[in-house]
Amino acid sequence: MSGKGNETVTHRIAVIGGDGIGPEVISVALDVITAAGADISTTDFDLGGQRYLRDGTVLDDDTLDELRAYDAILLGAVGTPEVPPGVIERGLLLKARFSLDLYVNLRPFTLPDGHSFTVIRENTEGAYAGEGGFLRKGTPHEIATQGSVNTRMGAERVIRYGFELARQRERRHLTLVHKTNVLTFSGDLWERTFNEVAVEYPDVGTAYNHVDAACIHFVEDPHRYEVIVTDNLFGDILTDLGGAISGGIGLAASANLNPDRTSPSLFEPVHGSAPDIAGQGLANPTAAVLSAVLMLEFLGEAECAARVRAACEAAVSHDEVPDIGTDEIAKAIHAGLTDG
């Protein structure tokens, strides 16, 4: 519930369970936040690889317009080995990120020792933009290009978001991760923009790491990080690593934000549809639950979000790799709600 006085607001959530373990983890996430008292109404959207195999639908413009009417979108995972790579990933997930202008991909991590840091990944440009194509396809002289698109506007808005977030954190520290030593065009634009915006935030300390070195630091010295801002592809790769060092990919949550709230934001785990474990009750639903927590926070339901987050923290023992499945973890989170 939210609102002033006795007024309450029911948040309208569009739910895309998707493929593989997506529906398994999303059903836990919805159960948990409902049990925690979240005032939501949900509408299921049957989208993803399985829907595509049935009738060829990926994400048409009418459905996209329907999605715009919701307060938020909660997504499990999309993509399945039976569909060629990219059809669903680009046609559904990237189409939503780009069309809804979800330019901030927020991916927070908590290390086993309790240190938290957040990666802010640019979410609408870079190598993901779709620039490029084939020449002489299928011939011995075939050429494939896939350019990285970087605009001053796109870099600046996400960097600015990074400074604003860092300003709210304890150490007030922001690291730019890029590859300026090789990507002398896009890296230069990012670094210049970062340094120019930094002048407006004299209270925020800054650092720069090349992405390859950042991979070392993630494993050996992640404490140096508080907030990181980086481009789309580097952010994708770094955040799977972030999951791996933070107790596993099954714990990693993410928010695709439209900070200007001109369209609904989309919340989803960092992980994919995990076809290797789908349908076996093995998926860890915590990442999906924590993604729903990020959703509740963005919708202004801080209290409910905090209760669910605390229940997840209580359920997760970072010290041991839990040899338990989806149901057991779901039960442990529910128990944490009751205890809390």
Q: Does 236 bind Mn ion (CB under 5 A)?
A: yes
Q: Does 268 bind ligand NAD (CB under 6 A)?
A: yes
The residue within the footprint of ligand NAD, chosen from 26, 78, 293, 308 (CB under 6 A), is: 78
The residue within the footprint of ligand NAD, chosen from 283, 292, 294, 295 (CB under 6 A), is: 283
**Contact range with Mn ion by CB under 5 A, out of 95-103, 236-244, 261-269, 293-301:** 236-244
The residue within the footprint of ligand NAD, chosen from 1, 2, 63, 89 (CB under 6 A), is: 89
What is the three-class DSSP state of 60? coil
Integer Cα distance of 232 and 230 in angstroms: 7
For residue 261, count CB atoms less than 10 angstroms from its CB and return exposed for 0-12, middle for 13-18, buried for 19 or more.
exposed
The residue within the footprint of ligand NAD, chosen from 110, 209, 263, 273 (CB under 6 A), is: 273
Rounded to the nearest 10 degrees, what angle do helices 286-298 and 22-35 cross at?
50
Nearer to ligand IPM, 94 or 296 (CB): 94
The residue within the footprint of ligand NAD, chosen from 102, 284, 289, 312 (CB under 6 A), is: 284
DSSP-derived letter for residue 93 is I
- The answer to whether 146 and 164 are in contact (CB under 8 A) is no
Binding mask 139-158 for ligand NAD (x = CB under 6 A): --------------------
- The answer to whether 15 and 40 are in contact (CB under 8 A) is no
Integer Cα distance of 234 and 186 in angstroms: 13
DSSP string, 299-329: TT-HHHHHHHHHHHHHH--TTS-----HHHH
- The answer to whether 122 and 177 are in contact (CB under 8 A) is no
- Hunting for tokens 């369209």 — which residue is that? 263
Q: Does 268 bind Mn ion (CB under 5 A)?
A: no
Q: Does 125 bind Mn ion (CB under 5 A)?
A: no
Integer Cα distance of 74 and 65 in angstroms: 16
Q: Could you tell which of ligand NAD, Mn ion, ligand IPM, none binds residue 274, using a CB distance below 5 to 8 A set by kind?
A: ligand NAD
The residue within the footprint of ligand NAD, chosen from 14, 15, 228, 287 (CB under 6 A), is: 287
Q: Could you tell which of ligand IPM, Mn ion, ligand NAD, none binds residue 271, using a CB distance below 5 to 8 A set by kind?
A: ligand NAD
- Hunting for tokens 């990012």 — which residue is that? 190
Q: Could you tell which of Mn ion, ligand IPM, ligand NAD, none binds residue 287, using a CB distance below 5 to 8 A set by kind?
A: ligand NAD
Q: Does 89 bind ligand IPM (CB under 6 A)?
A: yes
E-state strands within the chain: 11-18, 40-44, 72-77, 104-110, 116-122, 133-135, 143-145, 173-178, 205-210, 227-230, 253-257, 265-269
Integer Cα distance of 228 and 208 in angstroms: 9
Q: Does 271 bind ligand NAD (CB under 6 A)?
A: yes
What is the three-class DSSP state of 280? coil
Nearer to ligand NAD, 18 or 162 (CB): 18
The least distance separating ligand IPM from the CB of residue 321, rounded to whole angstroms, comes to 22
What residues from 22 to 41 belong to the interface with ligand NAD (CB under 6 A)?
Answer: 25
Count CB-CB contacts under 10 A for residue 107. 24
What residues from 240 to 279 belong to the interface with ligand IPM (CB under 6 A)?
Answer: 270, 272
Binding mask 43-82 for ligand IPM (x = CB under 6 A): ------------------------------------x---
∠277-122-214 over CA atoms, to 5°? Answer: 75
In sequence order, what are the beta bridge partners of 77? 18
Q: Which residues bind ligand NAD (CB under 6 A)?
A: 21, 25, 77-79, 89, 93, 249-250, 268, 271-277, 283-284, 287
Q: Which residues bind ligand IPM (CB under 6 A)?
A: 79, 89, 93-94, 236, 270, 272
Q: Which residues bind Mn ion (CB under 5 A)?
A: 236
